[in-house]
Amino acid sequence: MKNVVLRIIAFVIPFTIIAYFIYKDILTSIVLGGCLGVQFGLWLTLIIIVKQDVRKPVQTVSSGYCDSRAASYMFGDVSVGGRIYLYNERLEFIAHSFNIYKESLTVPYKDIKAVSYKKGFPGIVKIVLTTGDEINFNVKSGQEFTERLTKELLTA
């Protein structure tokens, strides 16, 4: 709570001074600077809290971690943003904290039947499972990611 108050004060003072130089009215400056300072302080606090809530993958580089990319997991009309991780034995998607849906998805490589990339906007990485189900991801550098995943599947 102390940090929130300090952030608000850190924004209120400069905004009040800037508003005074613009409007040349102390009351307007105090009200405008106060309102903007509180808003910016609270937004900064929210951003810091969300950034601290970023979920880390379970494994580290030394224990099988291969690659990580920004991605969106798409099912139906819903797109869930997050990161996709490649390990030696599995693919894992972890949703970031901005989403309503925060479920993670883990797919062992032995359950993946095929991987393909469809160019377009957005480019889609399509993963077909041995059960016949399809999983679609919009992955940053999707073509490169598809090649990397295919390589991991061949070595697994």
> What is residue 81's predicted lDDT score, i.e. its pLDDT?
85
Domain boundaries, the chain: 2-52, 61-155
What are 68's two structure tokens?
């990580």
pLDDT for res 39: 92
Residues 6 or more apart whose Cβ sits within 8 Å of residue 14: 33, 37
* CATH number 3.40.50.300 given to 61-155: no
Give me the pLDDT at residue 60, please.
Answer: 47
Would strands 105-108 and 112-118 be described as parallel, antiparallel, or unpaired? unpaired
Is 139:84 a contact under the CB 8 Å cutoff?
yes
Show the tokens assigned to 52. Answer: 């601290």
Per-residue pLDDT for the chain (156 aa), expressed as one digit of tens each? 678 888 888 889 999 999 999 999 999 999 999 999 899 988 888 777 666 544 555 444 445 667 778 888 887 777 888 888 888 888 888 888 777 777 788 899 899 999 998 887 777 889 999 998 988 888 878 888 888 888 888 876
pLDDT in the model for residue 47: 78
